């Protein structure tokens, strides 16, 4: 076998789909659409059907190209086990690395705040309304949930990814069942009542403002930057 054939054969073996690829794909699916189900439909629906359609057009390029660029940046470092801090320092120097890491931290930190508040609210609502249990101290609940998530991360990324991949299946099943159960309540009023002559392009309730505010929710909803960094060692 020639050297060229060996290289082609090696590349074919490396490009074949593995079980770990499926696990990571399911994990990424869960992290990418989890917030999208919670936040994006509610905020996007406030502006009517036209802003929703515009945001649907923008969703793919914003989510795909940004995450692809980050993935390429993370894979461009010389150290296979290096994180984003080491990679940006390698490309942009010590000062540039500190600045980019600082900006990255402030891009991720608000997401953690939002998730912390949302998880606490969801648990409190479920505890009080569905289980009909007495109200708990909010600070204690928030601390307990944060420590619980940190405890799971303590076991390492492999367990976390595996748990996420398993949780995706009931999540998908629940989405399908809820969607099917809502079919009898569908109506076309949101489309029939659209009057293009009364739609404002600018202003407080204009399309541009609605889409601009919706983009921030959309970026948050489909964001899995932190999860994406783990793929470097896969």
Q: How far is CA 132 from CA 67, 122, 166, 205, 214, in A?
A: 42, 14, 29, 39, 35
Report the sign of the C-alpha dihedral through residues 141, 142, 143, 145, in that order: positive
CB of 87 closer than 8 Å to CB of 73: yes
> Smallest Cα–Cα separation from 172: which of 184, 180, 183?
180
Q: What is the pTM of this model?
A: 0.63
pLDDT mean values, one per 10 residues, the chain (234 residues): 47 64 72 64 68 82 82 78 79 87 81 80 87 87 86 73 75 84 81 69 73 75 63 56
Is-contact 201 208, C-beta < 8 A? yes
Give the residue extent of every domain in the chain: 20-184+196-233
What is the structure's pLDDT at 7? 42
Distance CA 128, CA 125 (A): 5
């Amino acid at each position: 076998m020639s050297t060229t054939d060996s290289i082609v054969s090696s590349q074919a073996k490396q490009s074949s789909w593995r079980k770990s690829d499926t696990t990571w794909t399911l994990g990424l699916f869960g992290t990418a659409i989890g917030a999208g189900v919670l936040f994006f439909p509610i905020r996007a629906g406030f502006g009517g059907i036209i802003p929703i359609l515009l945001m649907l057009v923008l969703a793919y390029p914003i989510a795909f190209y940004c995450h692809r660029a980050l993935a390429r940046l993370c894979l461009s470092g010389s150290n296979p086990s290096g994180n984003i801090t080491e990679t940006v320092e390698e490309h942009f120097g010590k000062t540039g690395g500190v600045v980019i890491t600082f900006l990255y931290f402030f891009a991720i930190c608000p997401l953690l705040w939002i998730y912390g508040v949302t998880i606490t609210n969801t648990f409190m609502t479920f505890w009080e309304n569905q289980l009909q249990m007495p109200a708990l101290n909010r600070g204690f609940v928030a601390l307990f949930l944060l420590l619980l998530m940190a405890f799971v991360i303590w076991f390492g990324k492999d367990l976390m990814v595996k748990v996420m991949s398993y949780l995706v299946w009931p999540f998908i099943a629940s989405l399908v069942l809820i969607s099917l159960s809502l079919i009898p309540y569908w109506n076309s009023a949101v489309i029939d009542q659209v009057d293009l002559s009364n739609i404002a392009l600018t202003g407080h309730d204009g399309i541009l403002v609605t889409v601009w505010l919706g983009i921030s929710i959309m970026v948050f909803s489909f964001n899995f930057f932190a999860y994406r960094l783990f793929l470097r060692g896969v």
